[in-house]
Amino acid sequence: MKLSNEQKLILITDFIEQKLRKEKELEFYLNELVELERKIGYLRGEVSLTNTIINMIKSEQVHDIQEEFFKRYDNQLIKGDKK
């Protein structure tokens, strides 16, 4: 079966249109991937921070900042300042 020039032209045109659609779709998904990678990075940071807090609580490393401040600087404060 031999294709006419007109049929070849139509076939080539179809392939070119298909290629352009696929390139556009690829560009869309690459942009989505960049956004997803940004969100993943943010969420990884949040998970890491949460894990750090959990580990501090488990090992009782969380200190009351005000309490620690008064322990450290109590002798330097005017007695009316301490709550």
Higher pLDDT among residues 55 and 82, named by residue? 55
pLDDT one-digit tens code per residue, 4-48: 877 777 888 999 999 999 999 999 999 999 999 999 999 999 999
Distances in Å between the Cα of 65 and the Cα atoms of 59, 61, 69, 71, 81 are: 17, 12, 6, 10, 16
- If you average pLDDT over residues 49-77, what whole number do you get? 77
Asked if pLDDT for residue 82 goes beyond 60, the answer is no
pLDDT for 68: 72
On whether the pTM is more than 0.95, the answer is no
Q: What is the pLDDT of residue 57?
A: 82
